[in-house]
Amino acid sequence: MTRFALTIEFDGGPFFGLQRQDNGPSVQQAIEDAAHAVTGEEVTLHSAGRTDSGVHALAMRSHLDIAKDITPFRLMEALNAHLRPDPVAIIACEEKPDDWHARFSCIGRSYEYRIRNRRAPLTLEKGRAWHIARPLDHDAMHEAAQALVGQHDFTTFRSAHCQAASPVKTLDRLDVSREGDAVIVRAAARSFLHHQVRSMVGTLALVGQGQWQVGQVAEALAAKDRAALGLNAPPEGLYFVGARYEDEE
């Protein structure tokens, strides 16, 4: 049995999320079905993160165990052939030790949220960015975001359906920058609560539009109450960017 680590890129639009679902298609099911077609084996895909319906990935890290004698390159090519026409691609594949785990060995995860800030409607990026027509003050958003960096109780920014044992997380980075009419929010932490990034971005967008003052984000955090949340950003602007592992540092 060989453990293969996969790096996966996908468009989350057609899926009900990364994890296998009872009520619709998932990225996990697509890859597991492709692996079965290649190897004839029933395999389980384990991933570094969980993504909701509509959320995308630039480089999700996952693993699966396969008994068939196959090289990483051949496995990657075969999986990609069977994944077509689903918008899922294996962009890297390598062998890992049996004790390496895509989720439990991960020491850091990073996300990017893309906002397109312009009057004109989206065409090429429809379903892949949050369209906000009202002007955004990205500097105010970045200033407000710094109140969330560090270790905090993120109950305010946590989904009511979150299954994490504790609302306390350490946010390593939350930066807001502008590139033309694109406003990009970049977040990094060891792990995140369910909807944490989308909740933080939605609230920061209220600051950017002048509906909230900069200091209100810190007040919402201190409230430790989901009712104090400003806004939950839609899923289509969110991307899983990458995962960090000690053996790859």
Active site residues: 52
Distance CA 47, CA 33 (A): 16
Distance CA 218, CA 215 (A): 6
Distance CA 88, CA 157 (A): 29
* Residue 245 burial (CB count, 10 A): 17
Omega before 72 cis (within 30°)?
no
Distance CA 236, CA 116 (A): 12
- How many angstroms separate the most distant Cα atoms in the chain? 59
Determine the 3-state secondary structure of 49 from DSSP: coil
Residue 215 Rama label (left phi>0; alpha psi -120 to 50; beta): alpha
Six-digit token string for 238: 């969110």
Residue type, 146: Q
- Give the relative orientation of helices 138-145 and 215-223 as an angle to the nearest 10 degrees: 40
Distance CA 200, CA 191 (A): 15
